[in-house]
Each structure stands twice: as C-alpha cells, then as structure tokens.
Amino acid sequence: MSNLENFDNIFANLAESAYNGRPNSFPKIYSQITEKEVDYSQDKDSVKGGANLPNDGVVYLQPDKTLHTEDVHTNLQIPNPNGGYHTESYVTSTYQKGLLTDEKAGFNAYFVTDTPTLNADTKQAYLAVRGSDGFSIDSLNDWVANDGNFALTNSYIPQAKLANKALVSEINTLKAQAPHAVLNVTGHSLGTIVSAQAVAKLYQDHPSDFSRIGQVVLFDGPDVTQSLKNMGLTDQEIKTVGEKVTYYVNPFDMVSMLNRTAPYNEQFGKVNVIVPIHFNTTLDKVSSHDFGEFQMDTNGKPLVASKTFHPELLEAGHDLAKLIDQTLLKIEATGIAGVSSAVILTALTGGVGALVALGMTAAQAKAIYDDFTKHYQGIVTTANKKSLAWDETHIPDYQKRIRSASGSQKVELRAELLQTVAQDAMIRSEEFATEIKTELSNTLEKVQDEIQKGIQGVYNVAQHLDPWEVEALLSEFTLEHFWKTGIEEQTNRVAKQFQTEIEEFSTTLLKVAQNIKEVDANGAHAFNGLMEETRINWGTTK
C-alpha cells in the first residue's frame, strides 16, 4: 500500500479516504450519529497537508441514518417424524445495509460536505465511492459480481445501481436543504465504474437533476464507453455526460488501461495519463494501481503527460492496453469460457497458480504468464529509457525558453522544469540502486561458481594428496573467505539511502513547483540559484 504524498487534491483525498487503512480513513472515523470533521490541510500519517484546497481543506463526513443490520436467512429441509420434509429458515449471518452501504453487495460510499450541516451556505458536496478492497484473488465479491459483470458483458453493474439510488436521494436532499450546492463524485478502481455508470443513469432518468452534478473525478479506472452504450445511452448522451467526467490513469496500471486501445480523446470523459512517481507495474510490491504513484502539479492536480510533456507515457499506456487485449484473447483461446477480463487480470497478479485455477493447464498458464510479464516489463523499461532521453533533451530546452519568456509563461515553464528535473532524479536514483543490487547479485553468483570450480579442482587431484591436505585445501574454498556479506549489505544500504535522499530532494523540487508563484514573487535570482545548485548536485551524483 502506498498513499498520496500530499493532500493537495481534494478529489484524490476523498477517493483515498474511502478505503480502509488509509490516512483520514472514512471507515475508521465514520459515525451514524453525527458528522465528523476532516482537515486535509493538516499532515496525517506522513502525508503532507494540502494547500490551495476548497474551504481550506476542511470537509465534514456526514452520517448515514438509514444504516441498519439485516439478517441473512438460510432455508433447510427438515425431516418430518411421519415422513416427508418441511422447510425451516435460520439466521446464519448479518450484514450492514443503508443508502450508502450494502455489505452483501460490496458497496460503500460516503457523503461529504463543506459545512457541518446542510444549509444555504453549503456550496460543495461530494460522494466518494470506495473501490474493491483489494486487487487480488481474495476479493472476488467485488471482482466477480461487479467488475466481472462489467468486464464480461459490459453491463450495468449492481453496485452502480446502488450508487445511482444514492445520487438521486442525496440530490433531493440538497435541493431541499442546500439549494446552492452541487454534488461532486469521485472514486478509484472499481469505484470509477460504479461512479461513471451511476452518473450516466442519473442523466438518463433524471436529466434535470444531472445539472446538480458538479465534477466527476476518477482515478485508475478502465474505459466504460461500451457499457454505457449497452445501458442505452446514445453517443451524444455519452459525450454530454463525459463533459463532467475527468479520469487520471496510470499508463503502467493494468486496471487503468483496460478497454483503452482507442485514442484517448475518443474514450469516455477527459482522459489524463499521469506522470507517475515510479515506473512500477501492477504486479510490483509498490503497485502502479495505488495512490502513491500520483504527484501533483502547480495547480494541485495530478501531473499529466501530453504530446509535448513526456509523450512516451501516452504511448506506453496504449501499448499496455493492446497487451492486455492480446493476453485476454490468448486465454480465451485455451477454451476457458465465462471468465471476465477483470477476474483474469486479478489472476495475472497471482501468477501461474491463479491462472491454473481458472481452468487452463499448467503449461498454458506458464506460457501465457511468462509472455505477459515479459512484454509488460518491456513496456515499462522502454518508457523509462525514453523518459530519461526526453529529460536530457528538454531540460536545456526549458532553460532557453525560460530566458526568453515573460510573465505567467515563465512561471509555468519554471514549474515544468522543476517537475522534469525531479522526475529525472527519481528515475535515475531508482535505476542506480537497482543496478547496484543487480551487480552485487551477479558478482556473488560468479564468486560462487569459482568456488565450485576450485572445490572440483581439489577433488580432481585428491588422489595425489593426503587426506589432511585435501581438507586444508577445501577449507579455503568457502564463501566467507571470498565474499564479505557485511560489505554487501552496507553497499545495498548506502545505495538505498542514496535513492531515498534523492527522492526526498525530488519531492522538495515538486513542492517548490507547486508553489512556484510564491517562489517567483521572491525573485528569479532565488530560482536560478536553486536550479544551479540542483545542476551541480545532480551532476555530481550522476
């Protein structure tokens, strides 16, 4: 799990807070009785407080007074004393259910406002929809019943129907109690599918209420265009709904790139491909599917790629989307039927064993998994190299453009330069630490091979030596004589420390970029001094 590095974006904050185990986790602080204040301008669990947030970062998590406990009944056939059977119903479990929660369906959403109670002063309300509780084979409640239905048949999924009811109800509440407020929607992963379909259904059934929807900001979710068509929306209706929808997707994330082989501007909503902090895959320990990969720009929005700013990331996203499609076709060709792409993606994160569990042979599973991971890592590696090349070409170009620019254009160019330097530093430091670890591992393997050769050489001449001489020679051919584990650990530790320090340095640069207007107000001299120090320090580390 990796969290946001700062709370500079209100929508990312809310989407993250909808999950368990996060800073300002809504499930942890939720109350059925009264509202709970959350202040995103304050630091929390190593996440930096946000700046330039609406309402100074303060929001109020509202209670769901409809929440109650329902019983799950199981019917059993009981033998009668005189023959035959009768049915008896037993309560076998319970679950929580309400307007914003349905544990049985896996649905959780949170209603948040910018005032403690709804009134004429309320301007912004938010519905934060939780995604699946984990992208793993253990979370099939979400992935089969919801993601599965979406990915297999592009259908209107159960959780989206519940979210639509919540939207209708909360909008009616706003109309009655907060006439000047709009309702914004946000979500991550599965939460993006739920949110997009629920908002589209609202437009279908209650077009006048759709005007009360503010922004719909979604993170790391697939394209839902085909599912909206299957729900009966026309191309024009999809376009109209999409005008309020903004996606931020990671080009290296399997979930983000599902259904995204079409040009980005032909997909639902405005699709932004982010510039992630790390070049990780969804399969890595620090997953590309998590919030920690987002970095914020000068306006508090996720830093995104464009045709003129790290365009290689746009290409990488499309390449991953194509790879996913090709892999799904290969799995379908094995004869497996009725398994959704969402479940298959989940299985791919579990390795060969998880694919075998879907019904294919071990040989088929290994061939498909090895080919997928090889090409997946190849996409990331290629993008990494292109990003470094892009940085080397454009950093001097930025410096030239800054010298000839003026006013707001100069400020924006300075911000982009800082962001580019920070990204370059992170990539290079991570690459350096990895190279050190790989080099040590390769060298250790060579040393072990030479030791084995030496031992074999002793045995080859053993017939000409006394036993004590053989024993003396063999005692010299141990790893401890040729490899100092302490030095290996110290080297790796120093490399990791270097990477951490560079990442902290890069984070500082990004923070300066986010506050570039204030920096600019202090004069270009301070900025130029910072950049010169950066150039010297980074030149030394390279």
Q: Mind listing the pLDDT tens digit for each residue in 368-425?
A: 999 999 999 999 999 999 988 888 888 888 788 888 887 777 777 887 777 777 777 7
> Where residue 136 falls among pLDDT bands split at 50, 70, 90?
very low
The CA-CA-CA angle for residues 116, 108, 171, to 5°, reads 50
Say if residue 443's pLDDT is above 70: yes
The 10s digit of each residue's pLDDT in 193-228 is 999 999 999 999 999 999 999 999 999 999 999 999
Rounded Cα distance, 379 and 318, in Å:
10
**167, 100 in Cβ contact below 8 A?**
no
165-168: list long-range contacts, CB under 8 Å, 24+ apart.
165/99, 166/99, 166/100, 166/109, 166/111, 166/127, 166/198, 167/127, 167/198, 167/199, 167/202, 167/209, 167/213, 168/202, 168/206, 168/209
Residue bearing the bigger pLDDT, 470 or 30:
30
Tens-place pLDDT, residues 341-359: 777 887 888 889 989 988 8
C-beta of residue 513 within 8 angstroms of C-beta of residue 297: yes
Question: Quick one: pLDDT at residue 142?
Answer: 46
Per-residue pLDDT tens for 180-196?
999 999 999 999 999 99
Mean pLDDT of 161-190: 97
Report the number of secondary-structure helices (H) and strands (E) in the chain.
19, 11
Residue 164, helix vs strand vs coil: helix
Q: How confident is the model at residue 140 (pLDDT cuts 50, 70, 90)?
A: very low
Which are the contacts of 135, defined by CB distance < 8 A and separation ≥ 6? 189, 255, 282, 287, 289, 345, 346, 349
Q: How far is CA 487 from CA 417, 444, 480, 494, in A?
A: 38, 12, 12, 10
- Of 376, 220, 250, the closest CA to residue 310 belongs to 250
Which residues lie below 8 Å from residue 381, measured CB to CB, with a gap of 6+? 279
Q: What is the pLDDT of residue 504?
A: 72
Which residues are 86's β-sheet partners? 78
**CATH topology for the 10-64+99-308 domain:** Rossmann fold (3.40.50)
Compare 266 and 84 and report the one with higher pLDDT.
Answer: 266
The per-residue pLDDT for 304 is 93
Structure tokens at 363: 């040989």
Give the helix ranges, DSSP H, for 334-466.
Answer: 341-350, 352-356, 362-404, 407-461
The DSSP bridge partners found for residue 249 are 273
277-318: pLDDT as tens digits: 889 999 998 999 999 999 887 788 999 999 988 999 999 999
| Type of residue at 188 | H
Q: What is the pTM of this model?
A: 0.79
Q: Which residue has the higher pLDDT, 19 or 103?
A: 19
Compute CA distances 491 → 348, 439, 448, 471, 505, whole Å: 34, 11, 19, 33, 21
User: pLDDT tens digits, residue range 31-55?
Assistant: 888 999 999 999 999 899 998 899 9
Q: Worst-scoring range by mean pLDDT, 138-152, 240-254, 465-479?
A: 138-152
